Amino acid sequence: MNQPRSSGNDQTSADTVLVTGATGYIGSHTCIELLASGYDVIGVDNFDNSEAVVLDRIAELAGRPIAFAELDIRDTDALRKVVAEHQPAAVIHFAGLKAVGESVAYPDKYWSVNVGGTLSLLDAIADSAVTKFVFSSSCTVYGDPAEVPVNESTPVAPISPYGRTKLTAEEMIRDILSTRDCSGLLLRYFNPVGAHESGRIGEDPVGVPNNLMPFAMQVAVGRRDSLSIFGDDYDTPDGTCVRDYIHVVDLADGHVAALKALDATDTCEIVNLGTGTGSSVLDVVNAAGEAVGTPIAHQVVGRRDGDAAIVFADTTKAEAMLGWKAERTMADMCRDHWAWQSQNPNGYE
Ligand code: NAD
Ligand code: UFG
């Protein structure tokens, strides 16, 4: 264990956190918030969907680096060596594959990384000093919920291999932690968007973006001609789908709050991380245009298969258990996403 080190906030000792998927979109923002809160970080990633330059940017923004090992989380021996060397007290497990369409085409890959990789990680930390485990799950496990807002008791019904791997990983983590002196939080994220306010790190999708905000911002920066809006005939106020968009830095802060909350519990709990506010596709397109300074070119096309009309979170449990609430607005999300996209038009190069 590292020596306790004083910090400028209420974190009194610097525990070490193992962060898998540390150079990815949410992982990189979380590393910065962890460092700012006085934690030390040992990150791991195989750069399947991220770039090594992210490590330099984390150090630049946080004022100190994270320790890092390039590895595949399915390599249990390599993970075990990292755990033995750094003696983390907590794990935040982001590493995984997240594209719904790809999961339909390559379900074997998704089960291998998202479920096999999670089992490998749990194996690697067995008999270690890890007493807190945080997992990146997704509101995709709720499928098309019958009622909103969605709380943690809403029935789960994932409709893609991706969603099923997330749900299976949740169940596996719960079963295995119940046999150990290790508490857990299974965090179901809603729709993360935005970037660090500096614009130095952000989301860098490979190929054509699947998600709304990255696509809209690539239109704004001239990489794409026009955004297709998938349907305006839903039973929603303006006919387009409604989602709960959350600023990635608020989400990152939610992980710091999660680690602190885990000190006070010995259970494994599910918690939704969203804002509790729904925004339609047109709301996002309009807010993005405001942030950019010119409208986002768009046209309405047919519905996309599998889209639910309205999904947004009930945030009661997150507020009660984590003492955390998202603070940033849609305007903040668009401003910061644009800062990233405009400064890095082609992403990390
Ligand atoms: P991301 O792809 O940017 O980050 C994931 C990281 O994991 C990448 O850096 C990738 O290189 C790494 N990785 C993938 N396979 C690996 C392996 N076998 N070994 C080691 N590293 C590996 O994705 P993100 O948006 O930062 O998402 C992080 C987590 O949050 C994922 O588990 C994802 O399923 C979950 N999540 C994301 C969203 C979202 O919309 N971004 C929503 C809900 C849940
Ligand atoms: N949309 C468009 N045009 C686009 C992209 C998206 O109109 O080019 C619409 C979609 O139809 C949907 C809304 O914008 O109505 C949001 O779509 P996203 O793809 O950005 O987000 P989803 O809610 O479909 O799902 C995303 C991830 C899931 C994850 C979920 C919750 O793809 O894996 O957020 O975190 F589970």
Spatial CA neighbour of 212 closest among 198, 196, 231 = 231
Is the pLDDT confidence value at 129 over 60?
yes
Is the pLDDT confidence value at 253 over 70?
yes
Q: What is the structure's pLDDT at 125?
A: 98
The arithmetic mean of pLDDT across residues 43-69, rounded, is: 98
Spatial CA neighbour of 31 closest among 71, 1, 60 = 60
Atom 36 of ligand 2: nearest residue by CA position: 140
Closest ligand to C-alpha of residue 113 is: 1
Q: What is the structure's pLDDT at 7?
A: 36
Atom 18 of ligand 1: nearest residue by CA position: 72
- Above pLDDT 90, what percent of the chain? 95
pLDDT band (50, 70, 90) for residue 170: very high
C-alpha dist (Å) from residue 189 to 19, 28, 140, 294: 17, 16, 9, 30
Q: What is the structure's pLDDT at 225?
A: 97
Amino acid at 45: D
CB 261 within 8 A of CB 133: no
Classified as helix, coil or strand, 281 is helix
Residues 171-197 pLDDT 10s:
999 999 999 999 999 999 999 999 999
Q: What spacing in Å lies between the alpha carbon of 324 and ligand 1's midpoint?
A: 23
Spatial CA neighbour of 322 closest among 249, 266, 273 = 273
Amino acid at 152: E
Can you list the positions of beta strands (E) in the chain?
Answer: 16-20, 40-45, 67-70, 90-93, 132-138, 183-189, 191-193, 227-230, 242-243, 245-247, 268-273, 279-280, 298-301
Q: What spacing in Å lies between the alpha carbon of 211 and ligand 2's midpoint?
A: 5
Amino acid at 283: D
List residues near ligand 2 (CB under 6 A). Answer: 98, 100, 138-140, 189-191, 210-212, 215, 227-230, 241, 243, 281, 304, 307
Atom of ligand 2 nearest to the CA of 306: 24
Q: What spacing in Å lies between the alpha carbon of 299 and ligand 1's midpoint?
A: 30
Spell out the domains of the chain, with CATH numbers in brackets.
Answer: 11-193+246-274 (3.40.50.720)
The arithmetic mean of pLDDT across residues 98-102, rounded, is: 94
Q: What spacing in Å lies between the alpha carbon of 212 and ligand 2's midpoint?
A: 6
Residues 62-94 pLDDT 10s:
999 999 999 999 999 999 999 999 999 999 999
CB 284 within 8 A of CB 245: yes
Q: What is the structure's pLDDT at 247?
A: 98
> Can you list the pairs that 158-161 forms with residues at least 24 positions away whose Cβ atoms lie under 8 Å?
159/306, 160/100, 160/103, 160/104, 160/306, 161/103, 161/104, 161/107, 161/110, 161/111
Is the pLDDT confidence value at 38 over 50?
yes
Annotated active-site residue in 39, 110, 142, 162: 162
206 burial via Cβ count (<10 Å: 0-12, 13-18, 19+): exposed
Cα–Cα distance measured from residue 307 to residue 95, given in angstroms and rounded to the nearest whole number: 25
Q: What is the structure's pLDDT at 8?
A: 37
pTM recorded for the entire structure? 0.96
pLDDT band (50, 70, 90) for residue 349: confident
Cα–Cα distance measured from residue 276 to residue 299, given in angstroms and rounded to the nearest whole number: 28
348 is catalytic: no
Cα–Cα distance measured from residue 330 to residue 179, given in angstroms and rounded to the nearest whole number: 42
Point out the least confidently predicted range of 5-14, 64-73, 250-259, 299-308. Answer: 5-14
Residues 271-317 pLDDT 10s:
999 999 999 999 999 999 999 999 999 999 999 999 999 999 999 99
List residues near ligand 1 (CB under 6 A). Answer: 21, 23-27, 45-50, 72-74, 94-98, 113, 117, 136, 138, 189, 192
Atom 7 of ligand 2: nearest residue by CA position: 229
CB 344 within 8 A of CB 199: yes
Atom of ligand 1 nearest to the CA of 137: 44
Cα–Cα distance measured from residue 96 to residue 74, given in angstroms and rounded to the nearest whole number: 11
Is the pLDDT confidence value at 12 over 70?
no
